[in-house]
A and B are shown apart, each in its own frame.
Chain A
Amino acid sequence: MSAYVAKRLATAIATLVLASMVVFAVLEILPGDPARLMLGMNASADQLQLLRDQMGLNAPLPWRYLHWAGGLLSLDFGRSYTYSVPVIDLVRERLAVSLPLALIALALSTVIAIPVGLFSAGRRGRAGDTLAMGTAQLGVAIPNFWFALMLIYVFAVWLRLVPAGGFPGWSAGAWQALRSLLLPALALALPQAAILARVTRSALIEVLNEDYIRTARAKGLPYRAVLWRHALRNAMIPVLTILGLQFAFLLAGTIIIENVFYLPGLGRLVFQAITQRDLIVVESVVMLLVAAVIAVNLIVDLSYAIIDPRLRNRQ
């Protein structure tokens, strides 16, 4: 068990370090001088030189990488060129929108998908299963931003139940804030729920063919109990794998969805920073998202061992 954990941890850290090198290198070879960007075209050579020194842009490359990476570790991301505030403040402010959004979407997707998967697997090949899987097939094909537009049309323009976009901030009260996150979360969750429902169903069907399921049924357990207690637990590994992968999709999805709903989140921040060439913000947010993806996948891998005791003794 501990060897397994140590190996996975080492791989995750190695991937993270390599990823940080890639991000640093890519943004380093980009054209454009940050000092020039801040001072404008009329700056003198002396002024430029002074600012470049202050910003540490004249230091040798490896030293700059270490300085930057060290900063990331101590949560000192530097200052944004365009906003002139510390990047960490920007990130903290935007995370207050994006994190709840992603978590609500993940929760919605799980809450929709697992029961649908159970329902379908239990009625395999019958009308209910065909209908549910047909709907899931459709859900997979729907682009989340188009679904978002349709949701806005129905629930905001037509029924006027929720705002069409924007975010009042948490200071306006939790209910008001949650109301404006509802449609974006739904738009993010639906295509993911469709994928997850399909995976849950096929994982369950695979498990339901196993001998121990027949044994459980033979000893007189009701079908529902077998499905929930025996089958679902054993089908959790593929389901968790997909959940982990979906986290990356959800993070990337927030970039488009936050643009659709004009939400001041991390996705919109990074999109605007890319178009404005605010590289410090871009590299910090990208690293943060990459770290989140790696961390979630690590957690998923480690939770395999908790769910499936057989994996604990391997290696």
Chain B
Amino acid sequence: MTVHPDIPRETVTGILARSFRNGAFVAGFVITILVLATAIVSYFWTPYDVTRLVISDKIQAPSAAHWFGTDHFGRDILSMIMVGARNSIAVALIAVGIGMGIGVPLGAFAAARGGLVDEVLMRINDLVFAFPALLSAIMITAIFGPGAVNAIIAIGIFNIPVFARVARAGALAIWPREFILAARAAGKTSTQITVEHVLPNIATLLLVQGTIQFALAILAEAGLSYLGLGAQPPLPSWGRMLFDAQTRMVVAPWMAIFPGMAIVISVLGLNLLGDGIADILDPKSRRRR
């Protein structure tokens, strides 16, 4: 929970009560939990086995037996979407973890040190930003071989400068504050101050950015697997399903519609959640409303 030393601290119940009055937060929270639950349930149960090919059932329109229809191998689309959710979430979560785990310490370090260290780190940041992320991700996965692990690395690398930038900007705003001066006077080192005072104060910022990057990572993973550079068959992935659907659009539009909706719903949920958290925990936006 974020600490705002300048304003009276709110109780946890107060924040919770406000959270459930925030429409975006509630909608985002419910959708995100549903998507996560779908992925978890798929480990124990799916309507059909996604690795079994039943050619006699191929290209069937949605029905009571197959809610979302079947694909060109007779696989159940709903089951594939459920298992695909695992892949999307795992790739996105680890990629964002990499970005946060490396980017935040770098950004916080740059802000604490300033001077030459800061300048060098930020120039490297600019350099990474100059490469369109998707282009570099395609290069990385094409060079090191397609697959979920390389997709994670490719997406993760481009999350590093994003978190570094956010952490640095947030930390720079905290450093001139009085309670930091007090901590300094108490003889704390800059590392201690960063861990004990700066990071808790930029946690909201990082949380909000985290949900945004999570959503972007799901989109990036879908793009990579659409190009055949993400998770490899027989493992279902949403992007790959859309690739398979493309040439069969005329006869089987459901093959394209449902996996796409799965992506849209997951990304929408995360974005709403991020917006909601920002609204709830940001005292500035509270005053503005």
- Chain A residues close to B by CB (< 8 Å): 11, 14-16, 18-19, 22, 26, 30, 137-138, 140-143, 145-146, 149-150, 152-153, 157, 209, 248-249, 251-253, 255-256, 259-260, 270-271, 274-275, 282, 286, 289-290, 293-294, 297
Contacts and interface: CB of A to CB of B under 8 A. Distances in A.
A259 B223 CA distance: 11
Interface in B58-74: none
A223 B227 CA distance: 49
A252 B134 contact: yes
Given A15-B123, A140-B267, A252-B132, 18 more contacts: A11-B126, A15-B127, A141-B263, A141-B267, A146-B222, A146-B260, A149-B246, A150-B256, A157-B249, A157-B250, A249-B134, A251-B132, A251-B135, A255-B134, A259-B227, A260-B246, A270-B135, A274-B143
* Size class of the B contact interface (CB-based, 8 Å): 35 or more
B135 A256 contact: no
B260 A248 contact: no
A263 to B, nearest CB: 14
A274 B132 contact: no
Nearest to B216: A140
B199 interface: no
Q: Across chains A and B, which 6 residue pairs bring their CB atoms closest together, nearest first? A: A252-B132, A252-B134, A146-B260, A141-B267, A141-B268, A274-B142
Contacts of B256: 146, 149-150, 153
A157 B260 CA distance: 18
Given A11-B126, A137-B271, A286 B246 contact: no
Contacts of A275: 142
Contact of B264 (A22, A141, A290): A141
A307 B142 CA distance: 42
Given A15-B126, A293-B132, A146 B242 contact: yes
B131 A19 contact: yes
A255 B246 contact: no
Contacts of B147: none
Contact of B223 (A30, A138, A141, A256): A256
B112 interface: no
B133 interface: yes
Contact of A256 (B134, B260, B263): B134
Given A145-B242, A146-B264, A255 B135 contact: yes
A290 B250 contact: no
A282 B242 CA distance: 26
22 contacts: A11-B123, A15-B126, A137-B275, A141-B263, A143-B219, A145-B222, A145-B226, A145-B242, A146-B222, A146-B242, A149-B245, A149-B260, A150-B256, A157-B249, A249-B134, A252-B133, A256-B134, A274-B138, A274-B142, A274-B143, A282-B139, A286-B131
Contacts of A249: 132, 134
A143 B215 contact: no
B222 to A, nearest CB: 5
Contacts of B142: 274-275
B271 A290 contact: no
Contact of B263 (A18, A140, A146, A270): A146
A274 B249 contact: no
Contacts of B131: 19, 286, 290, 293
Interface string B155-167: 0000000000000
B148 interface: no
Contact of A143 (B222, B245, B257): B222
Interface in B222-264: 222-223, 226-227, 242, 245-246, 249-250, 253, 256-257, 259-260, 263-264
Interface in B68-126: 123, 126
A142 B134 contact: no
Contact of B130 (A140, A145, A256, A294): A294
Given A15-B126, A153-B249, A255-B138, A140 B271 contact: yes
A137 B131 CA distance: 26
A216 to B, nearest CB: 20
Nearest to B246: A149
Contact of B271 (A141, A153, A274, A289): A141
A34 to B, nearest CB: 15
A145 B245 CA distance: 12
Nearest to B262: A146
Contacts of A149: 242, 245-246, 249, 256, 260
